[in-house]
A and B are shown apart, each in its own frame.
Chain A
Amino acid sequence: MPESKVKELVVISGKGGTGKTSLTASFAVLADSPVLADCDVDAADLHLILAPRVRERNEFRCGNEAVIRSSDCTRCGKCLELCRFGAIVRGGDEEPYAVDPVACEGCGVCVRFCPVQAIDFPESLSGEWMVSETRCGPMVHARLGVAAENSGKLVSTVRREARRLAEENGSCLVIVDGPPGIGCPVIASMTGTSQALVVTEPTVSGEHDLERVLKLARHFDIPAWVCVNKWDLNPAIAERIEALALRAGAKIAGRIRYDRGVTLAQMQEKAVVETDAPSADDIRCVWESLGL
Chain B
Amino acid sequence: MKVAFTTSGNTLDAPMDPRFGRAEGFIVYDTDSETFEAVDNKQVLNSAHGAGIQATEAILRKGANCVVTGHCGPNAFKALSGAGIRIYTTEAATVSEALEAYRAGALPTMKSADVEGHWS
Contact = CB atoms under 8 A, between A and B. Distances in A.
Nearest to B48: A153
Contact of B116 (A2, A156, A184, A220): A220
A191 interface: yes
A200 interface: no
A156 B46 CA distance: 7
Interface string A150-163: 10110111001000
Interface in B104-120: 115-120
Q: How large is the interface on B (under 10, 10 to 19, 20 to 34, 35 or more residues)?
A: 20 to 34
Contacts of B17: 1-2
Given A152-B48, A160-B45, A184-B48, A1 B18 contact: yes
B35 to A, nearest CB: 24
By secondary structure, the B interface counts as loop
A187 interface: yes
A156 B118 CA distance: 12
A3 B120 CA distance: 14
Q: How large is the interface on A (under 10, 10 to 19, 20 to 34, 35 or more residues)?
A: 10 to 19
Contacts of A153: 46-49
B56 to A, nearest CB: 18
A2 B93 CA distance: 7
A157 B46 contact: yes
A150 to B, nearest CB: 6
13 contacts: A1-B8, A1-B15, A1-B16, A1-B70, A2-B17, A2-B93, A62-B48, A152-B119, A153-B49, A156-B45, A156-B47, A192-B120, A221-B115
